[in-house]
């Protein structure tokens, strides 16, 4: 069964086609047509809940963490693309395609972040994204020359995985590449707005979640709810998350470069 949007529709469809065994999640009563349902929680990783659903259906499920393997040819390509210059490599993915407006930190914040990171001695920034993202890339490249490697729209999925494997840290929104980085065992700083880190980050994942410190009664609104409908017009959860907090999380995870101070940031409003 689906989680959240489509949960009720999926349950009704299973009943309409006459499925004898109908198994899925339920929340707010949306799973009533199922013959076996598992309550969907808002405070547990979705991947863990998926395994719980399979166990409830009587299937044997391995509890060990799933890892992604990188092909040798993709690893060789990544070595050639990156070269060897030493220092820390920070992979930054500023995009999110599914409901990106509600899940992606503003680009002007990412621009300020990459500019600040490029001033840290020994740090290189690797920009990741799809081909559709290249048209909005220019605002992210206002950094010290030679410090930003642009791989946006230039890689296959396997090559992207190889680049992530080589990175010292991943920074990005709640998106597919965050999941890929964590599946590769890479440390990450995840930026969250309308989604909940509790539903995304696995219990053993090496990820520091960063959310706004502003008290918002609607947060989080995107909980994979059965009757979810986006009504937000202000996206305050993302716009009120300052660059300084994300920089602080990066410094925390990397133990922080000490050779140069972090300059004051000017973030466009």
Side-chain-side CA neighbours of residue 177 (13 Å): 32
Q: Is the pLDDT of residue 264 over 50?
A: no
Q: Is the pLDDT of residue 137 over 80?
A: no
Q: Is the pLDDT of residue 36 over 70?
A: yes
Q: Is the pLDDT of residue 249 over 50?
A: yes
Q: Write down the pLDDT at residue 187.
A: 95
CA nearest to 176, candidates 153, 189, 157, 155? 157
pLDDT > 70: percent of the chain: 88
Q: Write down the pLDDT at residue 86.
A: 75
CA gap 15, 18 in Å, rounded: 5
pLDDT band at 38, cuts 50/70/90? very high
Q: Write down the pLDDT at residue 101.
A: 85
CB 10 within 8 A of CB 27: no
If DSSP codes are grouped into helix, strand and coil, which group holds residue 85? coil
Cα–Cα distance list, 248 to 108, 139, 257 (Å): 18, 22, 11
CA nearest to 113, candidates 93, 133, 129? 93
Q: Which stretches of the chain are assigned E, i.e. beta strand?
A: 23-26, 36-39, 88-93, 123-127, 148-150, 169-173, 188-191, 207-210
> pLDDT tens across 152-174, in order?
999 999 999 999 999 999 999 99
Q: Is the pLDDT of residue 143 over 80?
A: no
> pLDDT tens across 167-201, in order?
999 999 999 999 999 999 999 999 999 989 999 99
CA nearest to 8, candidates 188, 194, 225? 225
Q: Is the pLDDT of residue 262 over 60?
A: no
Q: Write down the pLDDT at residue 265.
A: 40
The end-to-end CA distance of the chain, in Å, is 41
> pLDDT tens across 208-218, in order?
999 999 999 88
Q: Taking the CA atoms of the chain, what radius of gyration do you get in angstroms?
A: 20
pTM to 2 decimal places: 0.86
CA gap 104, 233 in Å, rounded: 14
Q: Which helix (H) or strand (E) holds 155?
A: none
């Amino acid at each position: 069964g689906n989680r959240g949007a489509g949960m009720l529709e999926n349950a009704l469809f299973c009943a309409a086609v006459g499925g004898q065994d109908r198994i899925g999640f339920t929340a707010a009563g949306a799973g009533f047509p199922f013959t076996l349902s598992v309550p969907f929680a808002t405070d547990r990783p979705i991947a863990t809940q998926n395994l719980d659903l399979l166990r409830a259906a009587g299937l044997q499920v391995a509890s060990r963490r799933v890892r992604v393997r990188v092909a040798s040819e993709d690893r060789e390509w990544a070595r050639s693309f990156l070269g060897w210059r030493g220092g820390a490599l920070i992979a930054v993915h500023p995009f999110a395609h599914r409901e990106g407006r509600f899940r992606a930190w503003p680009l002007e914040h990412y621009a300020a972040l990459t500019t600040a990171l490029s001033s840290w001695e020994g740090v290189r920034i690797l920009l990741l994204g799809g081909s559709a993202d290249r048209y909005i890339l220019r605002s992210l490249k206002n950094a010290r020359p030679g410090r930003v490697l642009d791989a946006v729209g230039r890689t296959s999925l396997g090559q992207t995985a190889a680049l992530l494997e080589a990175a010292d840290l991943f920074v990005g929104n709640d998106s597919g590449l965050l999941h890929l980085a964590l599946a590769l065992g890479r440390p990450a700083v995840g930026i969250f707005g309308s989604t909940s880190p509790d539903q995304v980050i696995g219990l053993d994942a090496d990820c520091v979640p960063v959310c706004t410190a502003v008290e918002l009664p609607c947060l989080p609104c995107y909980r994979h709810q059965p009757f979810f409908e986006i009504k937000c017009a202000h996206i305050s959860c993302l716009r009120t998350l300052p660059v300084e907090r994300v920089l602080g999380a990066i410094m925390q995870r990397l133990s922080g470069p000490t050779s140069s101070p972090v300059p004051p940031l000017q973030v466009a409003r």
